[in-house]
Amino acid sequence: MHTPAVGKANEQQVRIGDDFWNGYSDLVRRTVIPYQWEALNDRIEGAEPSYAIRNFRIAAGLQEGEFGGLVFQDSDLAKWLEAVGYSLGNHPDPELEKIADEVIELIGRAQQEDGYVNTYFTIKEPGKRWTNLLDAHELYCAGHLIEAAVAYYRGTGKRKLLDIVCRFADYIDSVFGPEPGKLKGYCGHQEIELALVKLYETTGEKRYLKLSQFFIDERGSKPSYFVEEWERRGRTSHWVQGTVPAPNLEYNQSHLPVREQSVAVGHSVRAVYMYTAMADLARLTGDSQLRAACERLWNNVTRKQMYITGGIGSTHHGEAFSFDYDLPNDTVYAETCASIGLIFFARRMLQLEAKSEYADVMERALYNNVLGSMSRDGKHFFYVNPLEVWPEASAKNPGKHHVKPVRQKWFGCSCCPPNVARLLSSLNEYIYGSSPADNRIYVHLYIGSEAQFVLADAGQVGLKQQSALPWDGRVSFKVSLPPDKEGGAAFALALRVPAWFQSGKPVLTVGGQPIAYRVENGYAIVERTWSDGDEAVWQLPLETKLIAANPLIRANAGRAAIQRGPLVYCLEEADNGAPLASLCLAADAKLSERFDADLLGGCIVIEGDAIAADRSGWAEDTPYRPLGQGGGTKPVRFKAVPYYLWGNRTPGEMIVWIRTAQA
Amino acid sequence: MHTPAVGKANEQQVRIGDDFWNGYSDLVRRTVIPYQWEALNDRIEGAEPSYAIRNFRIAAGLQEGEFGGLVFQDSDLAKWLEAVGYSLGNHPDPELEKIADEVIELIGRAQQEDGYVNTYFTIKEPGKRWTNLLDAHELYCAGHLIEAAVAYYRGTGKRKLLDIVCRFADYIDSVFGPEPGKLKGYCGHQEIELALVKLYETTGEKRYLKLSQFFIDERGSKPSYFVEEWERRGRTSHWVQGTVPAPNLEYNQSHLPVREQSVAVGHSVRAVYMYTAMADLARLTGDSQLRAACERLWNNVTRKQMYITGGIGSTHHGEAFSFDYDLPNDTVYAETCASIGLIFFARRMLQLEAKSEYADVMERALYNNVLGSMSRDGKHFFYVNPLEVWPEASAKNPGKHHVKPVRQKWFGCSCCPPNVARLLSSLNEYIYGSSPADNRIYVHLYIGSEAQFVLADAGQVGLKQQSALPWDGRVSFKVSLPPDKEGGAAFALALRVPAWFQSGKPVLTVGGQPIAYRVENGYAIVERTWSDGDEAVWQLPLETKLIAANPLIRANAGRAAIQRGPLVYCLEEADNGAPLASLCLAADAKLSERFDADLLGGCIVIEGDAIAADRSGWAEDTPYRPLGQGGGTKPVRFKAVPYYLWGNRTPGEMIVWIRTAQA
């Protein structure tokens, strides 16, 4: 069954209005975007300089100097501009728009005669374009600029940046492709593939779709382009001096043609960006082999290599997937960007087929790994999102140096903060889907919002969603129809039944009357003739649950996590003391919930009974002794807070997976 | 109280005769030493070449070629020769002695006019001597050659190698020292300090003791010799091209003067080799500050940074200590050489003061970490000795690549195998101590052996120890006196009361009659007038115990290890299936013991009740679900084998710390 389920931008118009999420969009608009603008201009004291604006000024001939930062520094500016584009679409802001217009002007000046835009190669290695696709991120940066242009055009209607990137894409199309004389290469960091699909969907220019397809089809063919390129380069690398071994093709997922891939390997952000483009292309071209590969890879990632927080990437070595069921909590990577990419992938899978598991994962990654990456002040970010932190180990055990107990200001490689900004400011695009031909509106995420849809028979339909999530499960939908629809409109509302491990079935009422529904692919399908003003209330059970992990996930054996609705919880030292490993949930932990208005901006905390090792009976210099001898254990109360709020108080230990007395 | 408790070689003569250990000394003599000789000659197929002999032939002008292997490759040959020296002392073997004599001849030929011996600097960088003490291991290699010479002289009475190293040491003494014009440096890898003490004790030449003292005293003084040397070298390193940051002084324990050190840091082998020399010097010079530092460092290492197997070094980054209570079982280092160095340190602490905890640690490291490093065939070795292995993670998670599930043939950096050989072939030096002036004989290890002591009043005393360890706790000592001692001899036998977590007190009988004893510093002191032929029987309780770890050791929270006597046990996949993490000891595990003559050469296995996750109820693609839902758990029997025997069957998972139902 092929049910396209997330509409294109022109099929739906959505504006978020939600008690929980308004705080975040405001934070992005009022704090993150302005803060990141300062960062891009190297004006944040104590933070590593970005050089991003400076590089463009130098490339535009407005300033003298050397290129600064990493080879893909341009992409930070692009991601910021993309976020600005979304934000302006939702919240007009003339002052911000003026700044953005000026930056776009600057980018235009830095564009070369032939359309090329890249400050690194313009300033530092002119003449070396396309000689190191493996390392140099040229097409990656191009992709981000294209995404920015599409967002800015959609948000403001202004074409300037779109024109810049079309010229750039035309130029890239003249360099790469199957035709004789063109390069048969593709980027070492996937990104342009999904960007070209967006450019195609925005401009209708099929060449962009074909170019994306070319990059995807060519990837992994033998002999390897990257190996040949490495030979041509004299076996050198952008990253280290001297010669280097042949590239690890798994790292960038070019070890196999994409249609033959079944297991997620290598750098996790590269992987999910690629899967996203694959799902786009499968949808747009009807390529069933590509779709099957997407489904296999989805299943592998989300069922065998995903943390309960929606994090992916088990090792910091290569910021990569490791292997099935290898999900260590303390040496984890779970990069913010990777979870964002997983959300992109999930959204595209929903467009291929409306199955609630895609939206479930989207929600899991969003509410936990992604939200948790940002501090409450919007100015500090995690790159790595651990499920277990011992600050002293982060400081003193080099295998955990990458796991920070405190969010950082801005990174030298600052991919994550602007990625969070662009996701949160475009969140309205992730809530709904529609299948106009079927007169069906899908609700994937329960986020308060006003939306307009155009359906085939029902015509224009307005929906006002109100949601008390994540604290309460009441969600309502008020239907609004145009005045000419006095007799109502027949369409189906398809409401996701969340996989929150709840025991009850959500209850649906319309006008106070319970309504029966059937469940299809995890969606409650409510087909009826709706009248203007009808209100459907969807009551989601929200129970606090202890969650077990598959026994094959060794790291979580004998442990449980706490989840309530979409939120995963954690224990922090601030509430429970240390070491947290000493805590063991009581056999009957009697979990209770309580809204604490004063804690971390207000949240529901979960409390219960636990047993803790009684350290008073242990001398500090006794490492080992017979079990059960001496002090033993003592009953204690524990307090869990939502994972996304961790690390906003005094730095300390944190754990998601808690020991349980149940084997 | 200062009770020197391990005699010098000339105070005791000990020959091992023991059911358990004979197998190991035979293995070293018949297999390890010959096999390593083949390895040193690059004749092991499939193993990385050693180049050690080849380098000496080139340095001696007998062969053309380039230096091969690592900068400290000479030390492999030295450690082998040292093992041969011990072995020949215990088991004369003319054929082996002839080979060794020829090698010594070769070393003599490679010695330079001024006494210098080092094939790397002779072949590859003549003129660069002593320009990179930090990296180049010159004094380290000298130290190993000195140890070899002392062992060979003691074992065979031949002076040739001793003369070579005395000339070398005299030359070193002319280069280094506090006098004007001499270098104020010391080695980046401690070793020569303890070797010079041995050379002093063998030759009586005080200059060697003074030189050792100089190296120890100078270490850590400011400004740092290593930093200044690095500046002089143009900030380069032996190990990488280009310039490098200033040396990490903690890595080689030169961050502080040694007398100010309290916490073990840096490379663990370097650390314990240094502590060994410090304890030697504290004993020989009566330096109380140095002794206090030894005691502080001992306490820190053994009470806060030691695995239950006697392994030390928690991280492979720098093969180093990390910090107190950081003892991860799966990313562990616990290098074989480090435990051997810990045994050296323990032995020297026993010489400073007879306290049973030193011998307890010695025994723990010996029976577990060290014995476990060698395969039953004596031809394969672990460098890293993990307490938890998941072979797929070792292969696919780069953070665990250093943890091998299978012993390797021979390492490019092959410090460990010859270190095991030299320890096992000199084990007779670790069993007894004597305090002649006090007429007291200490028994530190219960290893069957015949020993001769010379005590002040009692005169010559012979002791024949028979031990059923590690399987049974019966140990007996038969006294033999010279014919002129018809009236017996008054002396004290001081028998270590092992800290095996046993509930009972060992029973001592002489001639079948129970004897009361007092315990002093962990030793049962039996003072009496002994007659020729008296037999003391020392019945050590050997109970299988579940051991808990201090709650501050996060990695072992909620877990127990199994120990029986000196042996730590482990679970292997071969006996218990996988994943081992699924197993949880039952609240009443009802441990039982059984000797299995057919298993791994014969050993006592421990069996008991456990609970295992019932995987039949879990779909492989369900990562998470509510706790207690579905399959649940099932009762199973588990079987534990001695840790030192792990990894001798089909490669699989292994764990030492098992989950328990007790919080």
Residues A262 and A382 in one domain: yes
Interface membership of B561 toward A (CB under 8 Å): yes
Residues B322 and B234 in one domain: no
In terms of residue numbers, what domain contains A593?
544-660
Residues B489 and B366 in one domain: no
Closest Cα in chain B to A555: B581
Residues B266 and B413 in one domain: yes
Q: What is the pTM of this model?
A: 0.94
In a domain, A633, yes or no: yes
Which has more pLDDT, A1 or A28? A28
Question: Is pLDDT above 50 for B10?
Answer: no
Question: Is pLDDT above 60 for A570?
Answer: yes
* CATH code (residue B461): 2.60.40
Q: How far is A624 from chain B (nearest CA, A)?
A: 5
Q: How far is A239 from chain B (nearest CA, A)?
A: 14
In a domain, A205, yes or no: yes
At residue B418 the predicted structure's pLDDT band, cuts being 50, 70 and 90, is: confident
Which of B539, B567, B585 lies at the terminal end of a domain, its last residue? B539
Q: What percent of chain A has pLDDT over 90?
A: 87
CA A319 to chain centre: 15
In a domain, A159, yes or no: yes
At residue B5 the predicted structure's pLDDT band, cuts being 50, 70 and 90, is: very low
Question: Is pLDDT above 80 for B2?
Answer: no
Q: Which residues in chain A have Cβ-Cβ distances shorter than 8 Å to B398? A: 315, 317-318, 322
Which of A507, A522, A539 lies at the terminal end of a domain, its last residue? A539
The 3-class SS string of A143-194 reads HHHHHHHHHHHHHHCCCHHHHHHHHHHHHHHHHECCCCCCECCCCCCCCHHH
At residue B587 the predicted structure's pLDDT band, cuts being 50, 70 and 90, is: confident
**pLDDT tens sequence across B235-283:** 999 998 889 999 999 999 999 999 999 999 999 999 999 999 999 999 9
**pLDDT tens sequence across A441-460:** 999 999 999 999 999 999 99
Query: What does the pLDDT average to over A539-548?
Result: 95
Residues A381 and A367 in one domain: yes
Q: How far is A630 from chain B (nearest CA, A)?
A: 11
> In this structure, what token pair is assigned to residue A574?
């601030």
Interface membership of A314 toward B (CB under 8 Å): yes
At residue B415 the predicted structure's pLDDT band, cuts being 50, 70 and 90, is: confident
Asked whether the beta carbons of residue B397 and residue A326 sit closer than 8 angstroms, the reply is yes
Residues A633 and A558 in one domain: yes
Asked whether the beta carbons of residue A396 and residue B303 sit closer than 8 angstroms, the reply is no
Asked whether the beta carbons of residue A623 and residue B306 sit closer than 8 angstroms, the reply is yes
Q: DSSP strand E in A372-472: where? A: 388-389, 432-435, 440-443, 449-455, 459-467
The 3-class SS string of B485-524 reads CCCCEEEEEEEECCCCCCCCCCEEEECCEECCCEEECCEE
In a domain, B61, yes or no: no
In a domain, A387, yes or no: yes
Interface membership of A396 toward B (CB under 8 Å): yes
Question: Is pLDDT above 70 for B212?
Answer: yes
Query: What does the pLDDT average to over A419-442?
Result: 93
Facing residue for B581 by CB, picked from A557, A633, A662: A557
Facing residue for B396 by CB, picked from A322, A557, A560: A322
**pLDDT tens sequence across B650-663:** 999 999 999 998 65
Question: Is pLDDT above 60 for B525?
Answer: yes
Which has more pLDDT, A116 or B28? A116
In a domain, B343, yes or no: yes
| Cβ(A443)–Cβ(A431) below 8 Å | yes
At residue A365 the predicted structure's pLDDT band, cuts being 50, 70 and 90, is: very high
Say how far apart CA A283 and CA A4 lie, in whole Å.
Answer: 8
Facing residue for A627 by CB, picked from B306, B547, B626: B547
Question: Is pLDDT above 70 for A185?
Answer: yes
Q: What is the mean pLDDT of chain B?
A: 94
Interface membership of A418 toward B (CB under 8 Å): no
Residues A274 and A414 in one domain: yes
Give A636's contacts (C-beta < 8 A, 6+ positions apart).
Answer: A576, A583, A609, A610, A611, A612
**The pairing of beta strand A489-496 with beta strand A440-443:** parallel
Residues A418 and A271 in one domain: yes
What pLDDT is stored for residue A7 in this prediction?
36
Residues B102 and B210 in one domain: yes
What pLDDT is stored for residue A630 in this prediction?
67
In a domain, A48, yes or no: no
What pLDDT is stored for residue A415 in this prediction?
73
Q: What is the mean pLDDT of chain A?
A: 94
Interface membership of A654 toward B (CB under 8 Å): no
* Distances in whole angstroms, Cα of residue B494 to Cα of each of A287, A290, A592, B442, B513: 83, 77, 60, 5, 18
In a domain, B559, yes or no: yes
> In this structure, what token pair is assigned to residue A131?
């000689």
Residues B550 and B448 in one domain: no
Place of tokens 């031909």: A437
What pLDDT is stored for residue A633 in this prediction?
87
What pLDDT is stored for residue A2 in this prediction?
36
Task: Tell me how many residue pairs between chain A and chain B have CB atoms under 8 A apart.
Answer: 200
Question: Is pLDDT above 90 for A567?
Answer: yes
Interface membership of A111 toward B (CB under 8 Å): no
How many domains does the structure of chain B reveal?
4
Query: Which range (B156-160, B407-411, B577-581) has the least confidence?
Result: B407-411
Question: Is pLDDT above 80 for B74?
Answer: yes
Question: Is pLDDT above 90 for B521?
Answer: yes
**pLDDT tens sequence across B314-360:** 999 999 999 999 999 999 999 999 999 999 999 999 999 999 999 99
* Distances in whole angstroms, Cα of residue A280 to Cα of each of A162, A196, A252, A441, B375: 20, 10, 19, 20, 54
Asked whether the beta carbons of residue B626 and residue A317 sit closer than 8 angstroms, the reply is no
Which of B428, B443, B469 lies at the terminal end of a domain, its last residue? B428
Classify the complex by whether its ipTM is higher than 0.90, answering yes or no.
yes
Interface membership of A615 toward B (CB under 8 Å): yes
Query: What does the pLDDT average to over A184-191?
Result: 98
The 3-class SS string of B154-186 reads HHHCCCHHHHHHHHHHHHHHHHECCCCCCECCC
Question: Which burial class, exposed, middle or buried, applies to B242 when counting CB atoms under 10 A from its CB (0-12, 13-18, 19+)?
Answer: exposed
Question: Is pLDDT above 60 for A11?
Answer: no
Q: Which residues in chain A have Cβ-Cβ distances shorter than 8 Å to B629? A: 548
Interface membership of A239 toward B (CB under 8 Å): no
Question: Is pLDDT above 90 for A249?
Answer: yes
Residues B98 and B218 in one domain: yes
Query: What does the pLDDT average to over A496-509?
Result: 91
Question: Is pLDDT above 90 for A4?
Answer: no
Closest Cα in chain A to B305: A623
Interface membership of B545 toward A (CB under 8 Å): yes
Question: Is pLDDT above 70 for B1?
Answer: no
Which has more pLDDT, B48 or B663? B48
Closest Cα in chain A to B610: A663
**pLDDT tens sequence across A221-245:** 999 999 999 999 999 999 988 899 9
What are the catalytic residues of B? 319, 415
Mutate to test the interface with A, among B554, B590, B643, B656 (most CBs of A within 10 A): B554
Say how far apart CA B345 and CA A587 lie, in whole Å.
Answer: 46
Question: Is pLDDT above 90 for A261?
Answer: yes
Facing residue for A613 by CB, picked from B547, B551, B627: B551
> In this structure, what token pair is assigned to residue B278?
């410090």
Residues B525 and B550 in one domain: no
**pLDDT tens sequence across A384-396:** 999 999 999 999 9
